[in-house]
Structure 1
Amino acid sequence: MKITINVDCTPDEARTFMGLPDVKPMQEMMMKEVEERMKANLNAMDPETLFKTWMPAGISNMEQLQKMFWSQFGKNPMSGGSSE
Structure 2
Amino acid sequence: MKMTIEIDCSPQEARSFLGLPDVSALNDKLVEEMQKRMTANMAMVSPDELMKNWAAFGAGAQEQFRNLMSAAVDAGMGANRNK
TM range (shorter): 0.5 to 0.7
TM-score by length of 2: 0.59
Structure-to-structure mapping, 1:14-53, within 5 angstroms: 14-53=14-53
Structure 1 stretches of 4+ moved >6 Å: none
Residues 38-77 of structure 1: CA distance to partner in whole angstroms, max 9, x if unpaired? 111111223332222111477xxxxxxxxxxxxxxxxxxx
Q: Deviation of residue 11 (structure 1)?
A: 1.6
Which has more helix, going by share of residues? 2
- Equivalenced residues, count: 58
Identity %: 45
| Equivalent position SS for 1:3 | coil
Gaps of 5+ in 2: 59-83
**Matches of 2:40 and 2:56, distance apart in 1:** 24
TM-score by length of 1: 0.58
Worse overlay, 11-20 or 39-48: 39-48
Letter paired with 1:46? S
- Backbone CA RMSD of aligned residues: 1.8
**Matches of 1:56 and 1:32, distance apart in 2:** 32
- Bigger radius of gyration among the two: 1
